Amino acid sequence: MRVRSWLSVVTLAATVSACEPFPEAPRSVPTEAQWPGEDFYPEGIASAKDGTLYAGSLGTGAIARVKPGALGAEVFVPGRPAFGIYGLAVDEAHDTLWACTYDDLLPPAQPAHLAAYALSTGALKASHPMPGESGFCNDVTVDAAGNVYATDSFTNIVVRLAVGGTALTTWASDDAFAPSEEGAFTLNGIAYDGAGRLYVVKSDTGTLFAIDIQPDGSAAAPVSIPVSPALETPDGLEWVDSGRLLVVENTAGQASIVTLGEGSGVKEVLANGFGEPTAAALTADGAWVLESQMGYLFGAPGTPTLPFRAYRVAVPPLLP
């Protein structure tokens, strides 16, 4: 996600016509998912094991759900005024849909929370304020044990909610997370590799970090991973498989695969032409890249192309 003041000056992509064509699927799978209404403005997306997609709205504060094989969405969690949903993560083992939220009616109290919704019903289970007075919960991931991690793009930290815990704590902080200039948007997408490492991208510098989870659950020192060609305003981040990450590049309007090697990464663009993509979710059918068009919500001239969509992009198999 990009901050509001920054959004007003970004160059917005106009079409998705440059997206790569999809190969023929062995069964009928839509090439897009459509989100409801004229003011949904999706920001975060996540998937369940069966291929169900969930997206959160900045415009309405709702969470919508697209069931496998469907084109259109249904409202899963009703929205409310002055409320936005950002990053999402599905934790089926604990019947939880995690969501980064921001409530404009809460200040001077902390407006940024990490909320837990029941995956089975959509009911709110808990809402945990970010540490401090004014943070920004941007993206979220869950490790194999069920510990939850989220990035804070205003205070430049990664927070953690331990399994069974009731409060978020600062898990990773480092001088390398500091903004490149005052007011810059920092830590953004976060992904768990399934083994014991988190990856985090920093939007203002395009930096990719690896952070190991130590045996006691604490964070190791972050390690910067150079990527070539450089990442362009990285936003959403997903672990694909052994040594590969999917990165959504916001201002470039594209989704890319980063293949990790010995201390570095190589980027390959999968698809481009998206209008302010913010996140992606992986299913057996490919990567679903979310097109937010959120600049229009925050004052950019023009109107969004409706309906709001996530586009399915084929992910090439891992080569031996």
pLDDT tens digits, residue range 249-263?
999 999 999 999 989
On the question of pLDDT at 168 being above 60, the answer is yes
Mean pLDDT of 98-126: 97
Please state whether beta strands 277-283 and 265-272 pair in parallel, antiparallel, or not at all (unpaired): unpaired
On the question of pLDDT at 208 being above 90, the answer is yes
| pTM listed for this prediction | 0.91
Half-sphere exposure of 199 (CA within 13 A, CB side): 27
Comparison of pLDDT for 27 and 52, the residue scoring more: 52
CB-count burial class (<10 Å; 0-12, 13-18, 19+) for 282: middle
Domain architecture of the chain: domains with CATH: 4-20+29-300+308-313 (2.120.10.30)
On the question of pLDDT at 25 being above 50, the answer is no
pLDDT tens digits, residue range 178-188?
999 998 999 99
pLDDT for position 320: 67
Tokens of 86: 């950002």
Mean pLDDT of 161-187: 96
On the question of pLDDT at 164 being above 60, the answer is yes
pLDDT for position 27: 56
pLDDT for position 136: 96
How high is the mean pLDDT of the chain?
Answer: 91
Quickly list DSSP for the chain. ---HHHHTTSPPP--STTSPPPPPPSS---SEEEE-SSS--EEEEEE-TT--EEEEESSS--EEEE-TT-SB-EEEE---TTEEEEEEEEEGGGTEEEEEEEETTSTTS--EEEEEEETTT--EEEEEEPSSSS--EEEEEE-TTS-EEEEETTTTEEEEE-TT-SS-EEEEE-GGGS-SSTT---EEEEEE-SSSEEEEEETTTTEEEEEEBPTTSPBPPPEEE-EESPPSSEEEEEEEETTEEEEEETTTTEEEEEEE-SS-EEEEEEEE--SSEEEEEEETTEEEEEE--GGGTTT-SS---SSEEEEEE--PPPP-
Beta-carbon contacts of residue 237 (< 8 Å; ≥ 6 apart): 139, 188, 189, 190, 191, 199, 200, 201, 245, 246, 247, 248
* Closest by CA position to 73, among listed 45, 99, 112, 111: 45
Comparison of pLDDT for 320 and 126, the residue scoring more: 126
